[in-house]
Amino acid sequence: MAAIKVLSSESRQGVREFLTEIQVISDVKHENLVKLYGCCVEGDQRILVYNYLENNSLADTLIGGRHSSIHFSWQTRTKICIGVARGLAYLHEEVRPHIIHRDIKASNILLDEYLNPKISDFGLAKLIAPNVTHVEGYLAPEYAIRGQLTRRADIYSFGVLLIEIVSGRCNTNTRLPIDEQYILERTWKLYERNELVALVDTSLNGDFDAEQACRFLKIGLICTQDSPKLRPSMSTVVRMLTGEKDVDGNTITKPGLISDFMDLKIRSDPTRPDMNHTSSNYDSSGSDTLENTTFTSAPSSQATRMFSQAYD
């Protein structure tokens, strides 16, 4: 069996350029990455053929998927977290040129028969239509506000995903009380009160390693710090997750929160009458002076990007 992904017919890419991109992607192989078997091209139609994965995605099962019959034990969640981290570290640090995924989220983490995680949709920058939007809850502030895309933006997204896996809930749920709607904000508040264990998925019924769970949540916060320069590389994240590197010695600063961004977005909206107050104290250190963008305006040509520059 195989999985089919139909790309938008709006792409202006020529056949030769398309096939070149596909060749690059098909050469990238890792146990935690989805395998690309081939492609079909006819007119303006583009189809990718991947290996079929039996258990769909994290978004369909663990994250907000209470209808799923799959039981995600703590051991399984640990395996998934470490596997995704290793796959992303491979894209960031071992592939040449390096690959920025740009769209790390629960729906792009697929699960095989044994619930081993596979990252999908990497390397698709030039293959995606320019009007594709991104999921707000996973976007790093510097990417959402200024369109600044580096590997650190992927690391932010991974941090959000990590917290989702431990907690068993999606990053945004407007049906919850206002102070619990955004998982990153709630995680930070619990961290400040030294109550992180309260965030662990209750469906585990207490059957988990509390110390390890709190360490994973702290790593999630370390990855989502507001300043990109404070976020660790993915290889360092892997070492933290596996216990090879200490986490408690790290000073964790406040993450870039969606409420901060939304406040900035509202105050800088030129259609609002209060146009004299468009500046903000929102600070995402380590950024260059780049053009401002909104959540949906960062073009897909900047999306899953390959490059050979430093992290920052």
Closest Cα partner for 240 from 119, 31, 114, 82? 82
Decide: 11 and 5 in contact? Cβ < 8 Å: no
Max mean pLDDT among 111-125, 218-232, 278-292 falls in 218-232
Long-range contacts of the stretch 181-184 (C-beta < 8 A, 24+)? 182/137, 182/257, 182/258, 182/259, 183/137, 184/137, 184/160, 184/224, 184/255, 184/257, 184/258
Decide: 159 and 169 in contact? Cβ < 8 Å: no
How far is the first Cα of the chain from the last one, in angstroms, to the nearest whole number? 41
User: Where does the pLDDT of residue 76 fall: very low under 50, low under 70, confident under 90, or very high at 90 and above?
Assistant: very high
260 given a catalytic annotation:
no
Q: Identify the helix (H) or strand (E) that includes residue 223.
A: helix 210-223
pLDDT tens, 26-48? 889 999 999 988 888 887 788 88
d(CA 157, CA 142): 12
User: Where does the pLDDT of residue 312 fall: very low under 50, low under 70, confident under 90, or very high at 90 and above?
Assistant: low
Which residues contact residue 54 at a Cβ distance below 8 angstroms, ignoring those fewer than 6 apart?
Answer: 111, 112, 113
pLDDT tens, 138-176? 999 998 888 888 999 999 999 999 999 999 999 998 888
- Structure token pair of residue 158: 């991974």
d(CA 306, CA 65): 33
Angle at 62 (CA atoms; ends 145, 185), nearest 5 degrees: 40
- The predicted model gives 43-71 an average pLDDT of 86
Q: Catalytic: which of 27, 103, 121, 226?
A: 103
- The predicted model gives 218-240 an average pLDDT of 97
56-307 fold: Transferase(Phosphotransferase); domain 1 (1.10.510)
